[in-house]
Each structure stands twice: as C-alpha cells, then as structure tokens.
Structure 1
C-alpha cells in the first residue's frame, strides 16, 4: 500500500481533527503519569513499611496496575489513530505532527507544532524540526 501524502491544504483541513485527538491524548498521558506517580509512592511506602497492611486494608496495587495497563492500551490506540490517518506524531507534549508530502518532486514533511494556527512549514525526512522552512505560499493555504 502506497503511503499517504498530503498537500498543504489537506494537512490544514485535517488539523482541527488532529488537534482534538492530540488534546485527548495529552489528557490521557497526564492522567497516566499521575497514576504512575501514585503507584510509585505506594511502592515506596510499602518498602519503608509505612503502608497499612492487614485484612481490612485493600490492595491498592492491583487496582492501580489494572488502571495503568488499561490506560497504556488507550494511549497506544490513540497514537495508532494518528498513524492510521497517515500522519507522524513526533511529540505528544507539546504536540508536533508531520504530514508526508511532496514538494517539487522531493519527499518532505509538512510540519505543525501545537500553538501554531496552521501547518505552514516543512523539512526533509532527514532534517529535523530545527531545519524547517516556510512552505511556499503557506499564507494562502486554507
């Protein structure tokens, strides 16, 4: 199957949907990190012997580990949704998304960073974000 390529117009048309998906993913990863930190603190308390034990104390580890595993699967699914749409999620926070494209016969990546109004930059596959250049006529794209 041939990889998806985008025009600058197609990239910008898809951007609102991707921004929504990105915000959901960011919230999910934030929740995951908070639960992971709680698990870390509980593990530390158990190691130090300050975690209540006995029949009346519930096992917080099972519930937290189960929640974390479910959240991990949700994160993987959300990341996979970007791939299924043909875009490259380069960074979750702040969001950085690349759209495979072709400009003047050269394969490039149209680049968007969270906070920018639209995708208006590009760089080569071997170049990174720091090497990005203004896309020709990007100010005229919808």
Structure 2
C-alpha cells in the first residue's frame, strides 16, 4: 500500500480554505444537531412503548424507520468528517468547531489552528501541545 504524504499548509493557504471549511462545518453541525434530536425522539418513543404495553413478538419493529434514519444520518456525518480529512485538515471538534492544519515553522512540524468564532487563522501549536498550547503565528 502506497503511503500518501500529508499536505502542509501555509497560514495564507489555511486562511484561503477557511470560508469553505466554515460552510462545511456549519452543515455538519446542523446534521449533528438533527441526529441528536432524532436519537432523543427514538429514546422517548422506546420508553413510552415500554410503559404503554408489553412487547408482542408478532408485530413488526415499530422503531425501524427512526433507527434507519439515524443510521443514514450517521453515515452522512462520517462522510462530512471525511471531507475534512480528504482536504488534509484535521477536524478536532464539531461543536464548537476546531480545525488544525498541518504546517512547518522553522523546519518543525506544527498545527495551525482555528476555533469557531475567530475571523481568521492566526495561531498555532505543536503536535503534542494541543489547543491549550496555542501561540500567535509569526506570519500574522
């Protein structure tokens, strides 16, 4: 199996990608919210059914449609997360959005990072530092 090199981004390249990534993140956040609501709906329906009447073995699964919708939504979420990976960026958190861009600074591998709410990318941290180790990027 051939190993694919991970792309490295400059601060300008990362900022140029940001509007598209923000749009994709927003769609993913909406889908995740809908998934959570649908999951809660399923749990309530199951709880209500348990209290209303004992389960009869002869009837069809009353939750099949909701469970199928959830499974489809989960696949859509996985696909959305994969879209970030295919672009070479790392989606660290869906809500609030947290995205890292592999980069180099003075020959050292770093992660340029963006947190939802920031208007542009201006910070970085080491691979092992995490978000808490953020520092202003010297290229900004």
Length-normalised TM-score, structure 2: 0.91
1:49 CA drift (Å): 2.1
Shift of 1:137: 3.1
How far did residue 59 of structure 1 move? Answer: 5.7
Task: Identify the residue that residue 113 of structure 2 maps to in structure 1.
Answer: 111
RMSD: 1.7
**Distance across 1 between alignment mates of 2:18 and 2:6:** 19
Measured in 2, the distance between the counterparts of 1:102 and 1:85 equals 17
Cα deviation for residue 46 of structure 1 reads 1.6
Distance in structure 1 (CA, Å) of the matches to 2:53 and 2:27: 36
Structure 2: how far apart are the matches of 1:3 and 1:41?
44
Q: 5+ residue gaps in structure 2?
A: none
Taking the aligned partners of 1:111 and 1:50, their CA distance within structure 2 comes to: 52
User: Which region of structure 1 is more displaced relative to structure 2, 60-69 or 101-110?
Assistant: 60-69
Pairwise CA distance, 1:113: 0.2
> 1:50: how far off?
5.9
Q: How far apart, CA to CA, are the structure 2 residues paired with 1:50 and 1:32?
A: 27
Task: Give the secondary structure class of the aligned counterpart of 1:17.
Answer: helix
SS at match of 1:108: strand
Asked if structure 1 preserves the Cα contact closer than 8 Å seen for 2:8 and 2:104, the reply is yes
